[in-house]
Amino acid sequence: MSAAEPRRIVLFRHAKADWPPVSDHERPLAERGRMDAAVAGRKLADTGITFDLALCSTAVRTRETWKLAVHELAHRPRTTYEERVYEASPGELIALLNETPDDVRTVILIGHNPGVHGLAEILAGAAEGDARDRMNRRGFPAAGFALLTYEGPWKSLEPGTATLSEYWAPSE
C-alpha cells in the first residue's frame, strides 16, 4: 500500500450477548450473537479489506465475536486483546488508536457501546452521507460495523478527521 492511500478503521461492535449470572466482562454470546458474528465476518470479507491489526476488548463476548468473524476472512490479522477497549470512552479509544504503529494501514477495533458508536460519530464529525444517515437511524446495534477512512499518521487521529464510508448492521 502506498503512503498516499488512506488508512482505514473498522469499528465493530460485539454481537448479541447472553445474560447468565456472571460478571459483565465474562458474558458470552447468545445463540443469535454467534450467528450474527459469522454473518458480520462474511460482510467484512465482502469489503475486500485486508486488516493489518485487530484490537479486541478482553471481554468474553468480544473475543467470541472476533473468533467467529475472523474465521470468515481470507487473511487473519495480528490480534491484540486490549483491556483498555472494555468500557472505553470515545476519547480513550482515540488515545489507543493514536498508539498504532505507522506501518499499520488498516485497523479493526472490536468493542462495546456506547464507546464504539460514539467514536464513529466523533471521528466522522459533521459529515453527511448515506452511511451516516443509516447509522443515525439504526444506532450501532450488536454485530454492526462502520468503516472510516483517515489520512495522516495515527498519532494525529482526532475528532472530525475521518470519513465514514460504510456502515452495516445485521438488520440490513
Domains (ranges, CATH) in the chain? Answer: 7-103+114-168 (3.40.50.1240)
pTM of the model: 0.95
Q: What distance in Å separates the CA atoms of residue 60 and residue 166, rounded to the nearest whole number?
A: 27
**In the chain, which ranges are E strands?**
7-13, 53-57, 78-82, 106-111, 145-150, 162-168
Q: What distance in Å separates the CA atoms of residue 133 and residue 30, rounded to the nearest whole number?
A: 29
Question: Would you place residue 23 in the very low, low, confident or very high pLDDT band (cuts 50, 70, 90)?
Answer: very high
Q: What distance in Å separates the CA atoms of residue 123 and residue 82, rounded to the nearest whole number?
A: 20
Question: Would you place residue 66 in the very low, low, confident or very high pLDDT band (cuts 50, 70, 90)?
Answer: very high
> Do the Cβ atoms of 69 and 36 come closer than 8 Å?
no
Q: What is the pLDDT of residues 90-144, one digit of tens each?
A: 999 999 999 999 999 999 999 999 999 999 999 998 777 888 888 988 889 999 9
* Sheet containing 53-57: order of strands: 78-82, 53-57, 106-111, 7-13, 145-150, 162-168
Of the candidates 9, 2, 1, the one whose C-alpha atom is nearest the C-alpha of residue 154 is: 9
Q: Which three cell numbers stand for residue 70?
A: 475472523
